[in-house]
Amino acid sequence: MALFSFIQLYPTFSSVSISKAWILNDLYVDKDHRRQGIAEHLMTKAIEWGQITQAKYLALETGLDNLAAQTLYKRMGFIEQNQTMFFEFPY
């Protein structure tokens, strides 16, 4: 049995809202298995896990050019946040 999809979540704690949260770091579906509902199924399980663990939110980010992912996230009820800026220190 080959691995063709996975989702990776990291627990975090928000000092602003004083609550547990989850960060969705990776969602991957092999190109030969896309457009079959697998990503949506994985996302549903991640959302359910957040509810079970009583998290305040599930956060994720995606590329500006990843329209397929953006469409999925919006369809599933994720809300686009423009309240922060992302910075990176290059090495």
Q: What is the pLDDT of residues 16-69, one digit of tens each?
A: 889 999 999 999 999 999 999 999 999 999 999 999 999 999 999 999 999 999
Give whole-number Cα distances, 79 to 5, 18, 23, 57, 91, in Å. Answer: 24, 20, 14, 11, 32
How confident is residue 86, by pLDDT bands cut at 50, 70 and 90? confident
59 is written with which tokens?
């956060």
On whether the CB atoms of residues 79 and 45 are closer than 8 A, the answer is no
Other C-beta atoms within 10 Å of 66: how many? 12
Alpha-carbon distance of 82 to 5, in angstroms, equals: 29
On whether the CB atoms of residues 33 and 27 are closer than 8 A, the answer is no
How confident is residue 1, by pLDDT bands cut at 50, 70 and 90? low
Domains, in order of start, for the chain? 5-75 (3.40.630.30)
80 is written with which tokens?
């686009």
The pLDDT of residue 26? 94
